[in-house]
Structure formats: structure tokens, C-alpha cells
Amino acid sequence: MQALWKSRIYLTKRPPKDAIQTLIRFRCLSSSNQKNMKVVIGGGTGFVGKRLKNTLKAKGYDVQIISRTKGVGKITWDEVSASGLPDCTAVVNLAGENILNPLRRWNEKYEEDIRRSRVDTTKLLAEKIAAAENPPKVFVSSSAVGYYPPSETAEYTEDTPPSDQDTLTCLCRDWEASAELPESCKTRLATVRIGVVLGKEGGIVQQTIWPFWLGVGGVVGSGNQAFPWIHVQDICDIIVFAIENDHVTGVLNGVAPEISTNRDYTNQLASALHRPAIFPVPAFMINAVFGSVRGMIMLQGQKVIPKRTLKLGYSFKFPDLKSAIENAIR
């Protein structure tokens, strides 16, 4: 009893001065190390890239963008091709031509642009990482849920084997293969298969919000197709999670854990805007504007589960569609 009383008295005492100083030094060292970390982002001027840049800078990282044009805080793809990557802690590739650009018709030239902007840029970065004298600790490469073939019944996880069912599954398979590093390279590789990204700065919310505001929004096609979505902040945080945690390797599904349909998205957006959703967009109109290959992205879908993402320890800020949309339209 006396020993217990003594221990209770000890616990109420202030910690030794040297312990406080050690804690302060540790915190300062951790903060300093993070501020000295540089992340290079390929495709950092797009919707997700801009948010990722801001997220990293808010955490104290130095960020450099790879772009087609020169500018402050930027290097060009030609410079990377000629001289390699600058010394950095992490490389992230988000480069890719907009596959749902309604101003471009689907043809061989456009398909080649889609492929080159993804596969060739990723391959270039992988080659420069492997050849670097001081390679980065981690390479985070993006892919898409198009890796999985459309299905109304199947549920896909990161363990699902590859498919060559259609143009998009083949593209994603080659895209991911282009990121592979030689065994001799010690850089850690993480690949994020990104779903439909929700956020007010771009993506599907920006594309669909005005028809709903005007009261002419509605489901696309049947509305029953799976809608594998993720909030833009969550996809950025998953990438940061991969950068900061050494145990994160391999594939992570960049989708929210809630399985939803296009009808769910339509109803939630209409409800958040206090508007009706009574004007469906027929399938023939989608195919007429986008072509059958891209039409499949909008008219069919995949039920994708972030099994490994959750298992590795990531916690979603927006796990449900309602909260994600409400945040995205604010």
C-alpha cells in the first residue's frame, strides 16, 4: 500500500527538466525533417494535383511541379528527360490527359494521347528514379478504377487479378506496369487506383452542378451503375499517407468505403442543392457525345472496395457520399 501511495505521488510530480528538453528537441527535429522534404509532382497543375500541392505545403513540404511549361516552382518534362529528377524524398505522378473531354472526339489520335500522357510519363519517371544517384524514398504512381472491368454484381479489391476485357482495363494494366522499378532500386512503390473524384474545384461536381442548379439534372443512363467515388481531400491524404509511411507499398484503391450508384450521387447532389432530379440523360446521348469507349465509363461502373487502403491504416475523412457532396458544394 505504501509503495502504491509513493507511485501515485511520483506520478503527480512534474517530469524531469531533461525529459522536457528531450521532447522539445524531438519535436523540433521532426518538424525540421519534414520541412526539408521535397516532393516532386508530375501533373501537379490539374484538379487533384493542385489540392495535393496545397496539402503538402500546409504540412511543411517543399513541392516542385513537373509541367509542360516553365514557371516558378516548376520543371519541364523535357528537362526531366534530359537531366533526370532533382534530389527529392518522394515522386508522385498524376499526369494524364482528361479522358472525358467533351471537346475531343474519340479516335486513334486521342486514344494515343490518353495512353502517352499516362504510360509514357510514368515510365520516364520510373527510369529516372532507377538511374538516380540519390533516388527518392518513395514513388507514388496513379492508376484508375478502370483497371477493373464493369460489372453490376462483382466486387473488386486490390487483390483482384488483372483483366484485358476492354480498352480501359488494358490501358490501366499497362499504366501500372510502366511504374515498376528494378529490384536493385530501393525506392518504395505505391500505386493508387483512383475513383471518381468529388470536389468543388473540378471533376464531376463542377461538371454537373449547373444543370442541377437550373433544375434539369438527373441520372445518367439507368442510374443503377456503380459509382466508385472519393473526395478530393481523401485522395490527397492517401497519397500523403503513402509518402509518410514506410509500410505502405503495392496497390491501394483510392475510393471511399461506401458503395454507391449513379442514382445515389444524383439524389444526394439534388438534395444538397434543394433541387429536383427529374431529367435523366439517356444512354444514346452519352454515346453520341463521348463515343462508346468513354460512354462505358459513365454508363457502366465497378463496385470497388478499399480493402488494403483500410488495412494499412488509412482513415477516411469523407467515408459517406452525403458528407462528401455537402463539403464539395460549399
Neighbours of 322 (CB within 10 A): 15
Q: What is the mean pLDDT of residues 104-128?
A: 97
For the segment 46-62, what is each residue's pLDDT rounded down to a tens digit?
Answer: 999 999 999 999 999 99
pLDDT attached to residue 8: 37
Three cell numbers written together for 58: 500546409
pLDDT attached to residue 284: 95
pLDDT attached to residue 39: 99
* Dist. CA 192–CA 239, nearest whole Å: 8
H-state helical runs in 276-318:
283-299, 307-311
Q: What is the rounded average pLDDT for all residues in the chain?
A: 91
Any idea what DSSP says for residue 165? S
Q: Is the pLDDT of residue 155 over 60?
A: yes
For the segment 163-218, what is each residue's pLDDT rounded down to a tens digit?
Answer: 888 999 999 999 999 999 999 999 999 999 999 999 999 999 999 999 999 999 99
* Dist. CA 41–CA 118, nearest whole Å: 14
Class of the CATH-defined domain 32-329: alpha beta
pLDDT attached to residue 35: 53
Residue 25, CA distances (Å) to 14, 28, 100, 193, 303 in order:
18, 5, 50, 39, 47
Domain residue ranges in the chain: 32-329
Q: Transcribe 93-156 into DSSP letters.
A: E-----TT-TTS--SHHHHHHHHIIIIIHHHHHHHHHHH-SS--SEEEEEEEGGGSPP-SS-EE
Return phi, psi of residue 284, to 5°. -65, -30
* Dist. CA 288–CA 290, nearest whole Å: 6
Q: What is the mean pLDDT of residues 87-106?
A: 95
Q: Is the pLDDT of residue 1 over 50?
A: no
Q: Are residues 89 and 187 in contact, defined by beta-carbon separation less than 8 angstroms? A: no
